[in-house]
Homo-oligomer: A and B are copies of this chain.
Amino acid sequence: MTTNPADQRRTLTLRDVSEASGVSEMTVSRVLRNRGDVSSATREKVLEAARTLGYVPNKIAGALASQRVNLVAVIIPSLSNMVFPEVLTAVSNALEDTGLQPVVGVTNYLPEREEAVLYEMLSWRPSGVIIAGIEHSAATRAMLENAGIPIVEIMDIDGEPVDSAVGISHRRAGREMGKAIVEAGYRRIGFMGTKMPLDHRARKRFEGFTEALAKAGLEIADTEFYSGGSALTKGREMTEAMLKRTPDLDFIYYSNDMIGAGGLLYCLEKGIDVPGKLGLAGFNSVELLGGLPMRLATMDACRDEIGRMAAEIIAGKHDSGIIGGERIELTPRLEPGDTIRKV
């Protein structure tokens, strides 16, 4: 605790800087915000005073007075699934020189948490909201609609956005993966993923997948759902269990790459012939996959682009003042990797 001897009791205000530099508060304010004309002599004097005092502006007061807040609320379900930190990073980078600042809220996939987090964030009057998913409680939706600021719903576009939306169709992603698997000649296909009542995107992929199989006259041969725990470990354990239970499976579709990687590692370890005897596919194209001995088939969720475009919509609107819904559907690329037979 090396506290300065000239320690101030109160925190400093503009008035302190104003007195120290001999100009009005207004002029100090102008200097510190780089707004309006100030002679370079005064500017120097003020900056010098602010620096030596260690003045830190009070944005609370500033925001109240100017009715402008440089914050963007970003609401995501979790930080444990790397997808979300990645989107967040993309948002952060895209916001970099807009003067806007992301503020994160985490819902743990719970609608009631989402409601609470959104309420809390809106009470800080942000310039925009970026929120994961397109399914919300009535109250959440109402808040979004009445907020009077740009809203961007991200990740998913299967639904009716409140305002703008940037994402992919998870139903279609599931469908396309299903189609690719069937075309590669697999017939006894299992599915493995998170418990889905709350993870709508996983659910939609599952639905799309089921649909694609149905179109080929197939049914899913086995399914298993988990919640909690390390996805990699779960993938390993559940793959073992499912293969014991349904030994004639020739494909497993995982709802995310982490459990997929666990399954893949298990298969390699057991010497199972992948993709000959058993094909595997995941979802999300996590960076991690590059380090595995064999590349898992997957589909990119475009999280980088999603984050960037969402930020741009907010930032653009922020500048122009337009509030109108844009709806951007990105197309995920299928990355066949090495775990699905070439046709």
Contact = CB atoms under 8 A, between A and B. Distances in A.
Contacts of A163: 1
A287 B230 contact: yes
A202 to B, nearest CB: 19
B123 A58 contact: yes
A287 B82 CA distance: 13
Nearest to A105: B101
Interface string A262-294: 100100110000000000000000011011110
Interface in A44-58: 54, 56-58
A269 B293 contact: yes
A233 B54 contact: no
A92 interface: yes
Task: Work out how many copies of this chain go into the complex.
Answer: 2
Contacts of A143: 54, 56
Contacts of A94: none
Contacts of A106: 89, 92
Contacts of A325: 1
A56 B4 contact: no
A232 B291 contact: yes
Interface stretch (A15-23, A60-68, A297-305): A60-68
Contacts of A287: 230, 232-233
A124 B58 CA distance: 6
A182 interface: no
Contacts of A170: none
Contact of A59 (B8, B79, B123, B148): B123
A225 interface: no
Nearest to A119: B56
A291 B238 CA distance: 11
A124 B291 contact: no
A230 B54 contact: no
A57 B57 CA distance: 23
Interface string A136-177: 000000110111100000000000101100000000000000
A145 B79 CA distance: 31
Residue of A1, A86, A230, A268 with highest tally of chain B CB at under 10 A: A1
14 contacts: A1-B162, A1-B163, A11-B125, A59-B125, A60-B64, A79-B79, A80-B86, A230-B288, A230-B290, A232-B292, A234-B291, A236-B291, A261-B291, A265-B293
Closest 8 pairs between A and B when the two form their complex, measured CB to CB: A232-B291, A79-B85, A230-B287, A233-B291, A59-B123, A233-B290, A262-B291, A269-B293
Interface of A: 1-4, 7-8, 11, 54, 56-61, 63-64, 69, 79-80, 82, 85-86, 88-89, 92, 101, 103-104, 106, 119-120, 122-125, 142-143, 145-148, 160, 162-163, 230-236, 261-262, 265, 268-269, 287-288, 290-293, 324-325
